């Protein structure tokens, strides 16, 4: 399904605690042209920054060459919120996530202190029907529109809320603010969110699944090579040295070895072609 923002319609969420894991995912993403060409930015969560420090921001940026959004969900008084924004901007961040309920003063302070840092505003959370903030959705949408914020975040699993955000934020004149759907659990929810107005889809688990699957394919490829070599050697030995083989092992064992090698090779080749599943 074509979205409203073009080919780059996904934000890759990297929320791992370990630096090594976060950087590994970033390197693998960089190698996957089929994934990175659809990726608008990298989102790094609070837990990653707490465990690894602000330096992780620039490290991810250098590897992926993508904008970095710090999902800190800022919920503090204006001058503290602006202090935090300055810190992450100095560390290489391109955007920051704030809670909508903090109000206009926080947005003004952040814009004044870090005018080039993009602000993404949370309209409501993706759990428990959005919590108490869901009652003020229209107010948050108005703030995002009035300040021409870079993005507003809504619950992707509730497409009717995405539709309400679109109706409030998009007017055909000032459509700068992007609608970001989070909490997506499957492809159907992603399609519905886009259908109802989402410009960007923020995902973490699906990216990790695809990148981890790449490792499995690589491992199976290596196994397939070894199995194929074993099969060829067993054939050569059976043809060239039949008497020696008979002395080493009983014919049934040789047959089992050959058939097993052939089966493993076939399964691995089938998986790598996409004809088999694990």
238 versus 190: the higher-pLDDT residue is 190
Establish how many alpha carbons lie within 13 A of residue 135's alpha carbon, considering only the half-sphere containing its beta carbon: 2
Q: Evaluate whether 107 touches 142 at the Cβ level (below 8 Å).
A: no
Q: Per-residue confidence at 167, pLDDT binned at 50, 70, 90?
A: very high
**pTM: predicted TM-score of the whole model, two decimal places:** 0.75
Q: How many CB atoms lie within 10 A of CB 62?
A: 11
Tell me how far apart the alpha carbons of residues 182 and 250 are, in angstroms, rounded to a whole number.
61
Q: Per-residue confidence at 85, pLDDT binned at 50, 70, 90?
A: very high
From the list 18, 28, 73, 176, the catalytic residue is: 73
pLDDT over 90 (residue 19): yes
Q: Assess whether 73 carries a catalytic annotation.
A: yes
Tell me how far apart the alpha carbons of residues 63 and 204 are, in angstroms, rounded to a whole number.
18
pLDDT at res. 50: 94
Mean pLDDT (the chain, rounded): 83
pLDDT tens-digit profile of 218-277?
544 555 565 566 667 666 666 655 665 555 555 555 555 555 655 655 555 555 554 443
pLDDT at res. 55: 96
pLDDT tens-digit profile of 107-147?
999 999 999 999 999 999 887 665 677 788 999 999 999 99
């Amino acid at each position: 399904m074509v979205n409203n923002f073009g080919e780059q319609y996904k934000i890759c969420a990297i929320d791992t605690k370990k630096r090594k894991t976060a950087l590994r995912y970033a390197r693998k993403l960089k190698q996957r042209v089929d994934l990175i060409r659809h990726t608008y930015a990298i989102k790094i969560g609070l837990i990653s920054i707490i465990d690894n420090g602000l330096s992780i921001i620039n490290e991810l940026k250098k590897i992926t060459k993508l904008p970095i959004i710090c999902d800190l969900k800022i919920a503090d008084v204006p001058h503290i919120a602006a202090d935090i924004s300055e810190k992450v901007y100095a560390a290489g961040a391109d955007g920051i996530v704030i809670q909508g309920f903090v109000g206009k003063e926080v947005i003004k302070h952040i814009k004044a202190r870090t005018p080039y840092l993009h602000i993404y505003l949370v309209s409501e959370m993706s759990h428990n029907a959005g919590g108490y903030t869901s009652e003020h959705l229209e107010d948050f949408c108005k703030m995002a529109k009035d300040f021409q914020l870079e993005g507003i975040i809504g619950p992707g699993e509730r497409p009717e809320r995405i539709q309400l955000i679109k109706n409030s934020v998009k007017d055909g004149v000032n459509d700068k603010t992007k609608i970001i759907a989070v909490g997506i659990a499957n492809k159907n929810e992603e399609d519905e969110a886009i259908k109802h107005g989402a410009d960007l889809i923020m995902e973490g688990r699906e990216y990790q699944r695809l990148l981890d699957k790449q490792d499995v394919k690589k491992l199976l490829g290596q196994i397939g090579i070894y199995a194929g070599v074993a099969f060829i050697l067993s054939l050569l030995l059976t043809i060239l040295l039949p008497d020696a083989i008979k002395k080493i092992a009983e014919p049934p064992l040789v047959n089992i070895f050959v058939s097993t090698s052939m089966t493993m090779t076939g399964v691995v080749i089938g998986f790598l072609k996409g004809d088999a599943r694990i």
